[in-house]
């Protein structure tokens, strides 16, 4: 990692990312198109390798594609929320603007690494077929935000083992993982809850699947505190079931 993260961008990679961006933008699905200049230099070499002979192992590609789906979801959710006039009180806006900024970068980063392997951004329905009204009801926006962040933490954790063959990508994923946890803590506290997950508690029954299994105490005496001390992974299938209602 130490030596590779400062690699410079490969022109061919730039072109491919740019053409992919252009293609995505043409579909009209790209929320807040990013300047190619924002492509993190830190991922130059890593992304270059993705286009090298043979490319990344399929297991890593699959894990990163899965992560990108989640990042698309989060990025779209926050971009929409922040841009919705009257939704987020002025005092809370910097929090969600900061989170939104990070999710946008995560999308750009994963798109860059995946290159042609990246799937197009899905179309999202954050009402989940009419179940929620997050862009009109701030409390619902906050609740879904918490749910998405806590899901993200569990999802990245569940994919870490699949990334072990590539130190740079593993470390990158871990560095996203901890940022998602910071987001989750903040949003939870903003909602008057603890920054950590107690047992499998959630006050919205429709979001229960996000928290199932979090009550594991990992050998410590079974107690709410023991469960708080550890965040649990989710399988890809479990995460896909959680986000499915939000994807058209």
Partner 1 sequence: MDTKLPEKNGELRFLDNLARTTGRRTFVQWAGLTLGVVALGCSDDSSGPPGDGEVNLGTGDTGILNYAYALEQLEAAFYTQVVASFYAGASADEQALLTDIKNHEVIHRDFLKAALGTAAIADLTVDFTTINFGDRASVLGAAKAFEDLGVSAYNGAGQLLTSADYLLIAGKIVSVEARHAAAIRDLLVPRSSANGSFAGDDVVDPTTGLEFPERTPAQVLTAADTYVTTTINASGLPTS
218 binds partner 1 (CB under 8 A): yes
Binding mask 114-143 for partner 1 (x = CB under 8 A): ------------------------------
- Could you give phi then psi for residue 3, rounded to 5 degrees? -95, -20
82 binds partner 1 (CB under 8 A): no
Instruction: Decide: residue 13, CB within 10 A, 0-12 exposed, 13-18 middle, 19+ buried.
Output: buried
Closer Cβ to partner 1, 127 or 191, answer by number: 191
In the complex, the smallest distance separating the C-beta of residue 43 from partner 1, rounded to whole angstroms, is 8
| Single residue of 131, 137, 229, 241 touching partner 1 by CB under 8 A | 229
- Please state the three-class secondary structure of 160-188 as a single string: HHHHCCCHHHHHHHHHHHHHHHHHHHHHH
177 binds partner 1 (CB under 8 A): yes
How many binding residues for partner 1 (CB under 8 A)?
62
233 binds partner 1 (CB under 8 A): yes
From 19-27, 113-121, 174-182, 239-247, give the range in contact with partner 1 by CB under 8 A: 174-182
Instruction: Give the residue among 149, 133, 166 at the shortest CA–CA distance from 99.
Output: 149
Cα of 77 vs its chain's centroid, Å:
11
Closer Cβ to partner 1, 132 or 239, answer by number: 239
Is residue 77 within 8 Å of residue 148, measured between CB atoms?
yes
Span 54-73, contacts to partner 1 by CB under 8 A:
none
98 binds partner 1 (CB under 8 A): yes
Q: Which residues of 63-100 are buried (b: 16+ CB within 10 A; e: fewer)?
A: bbebbbbbbbbbbbbbbbbbeeeebbeeeeeebbeebb
- Could you give phi then psi for residue 247, rounded to 5 degrees? -110, 125
Q: Output 126-132 pairs: Cβ under 8 A, ≥24 positions apart.
A: 126/77, 126/80, 126/246, 128/206, 128/245, 128/246, 129/245, 131/206, 131/245, 132/206
Binding mask 23-42 for partner 1 (x = CB under 8 A): ---------------x-xxx
In the complex, the smallest distance separating the C-beta of residue 128 from partner 1, rounded to whole angstroms, is 25
79 binds partner 1 (CB under 8 A): no
| Single residue of 52, 137, 161, 241 touching partner 1 by CB under 8 A | 161
State both tokens at 31.
């929320």
Residues forming the site for partner 1 (CB under 8 A): 1-2, 38, 40-43, 90-95, 97-99, 101-106, 109, 153, 156-157, 160-161, 164, 167, 170-172, 174-186, 189-190, 194-196, 218-220, 225-226, 228-233
């Amino acid at each position: 990692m130490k030596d590779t993260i400062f690699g410079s961008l490969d022109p061919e990679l730039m072109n491919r990312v740019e053409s992919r961006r252009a293609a995505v933008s043409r579909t009209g699905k790209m929320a807040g198109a990013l300047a190619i200049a924002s492509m993190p230099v830190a991922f130059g070499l890593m992304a270059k390798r993705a286009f090298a002979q043979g490319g990344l192992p399929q297991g890593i590609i699959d894990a990163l594609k899965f992560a990108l789906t989640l990042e698309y979801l989060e990025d779209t959710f926050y971009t929409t929320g922040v841009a919705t006039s009257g939704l987020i009180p002025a005092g809370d806006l910097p929090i969600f603007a900061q989170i939104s900024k990070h999710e946008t970068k995560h999308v750009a980063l994963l798109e860059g690494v995946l290159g042609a392997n990246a799937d197009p951004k899905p179309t999202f329905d954050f009402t989940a077929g009419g179940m929620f009204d997050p862009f009109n009801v701030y409390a619902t926006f906050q609740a879904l935000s918490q749910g998405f962040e806590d899901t993200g933490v569990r999802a990245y954790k569940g994919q870490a083992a699949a990334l072990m063959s590539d130190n740079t990508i593993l470390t990158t994923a871990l560095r996203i993982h901890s940022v998602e946890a910071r987001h989750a803590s903040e949003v939870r506290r903003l909602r008057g809850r603890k920054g950590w997950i107690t047992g499998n508690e959630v006050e919205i029954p429709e979001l229960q699947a996000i928290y199932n299994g979090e009550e594991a105490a990992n050998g410590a005496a079974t107690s709410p505190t023991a469960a708080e001390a550890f965040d649990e992974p989710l399988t890809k299938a479990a995460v896909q079931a959680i986000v499915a209602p939000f994807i058209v």
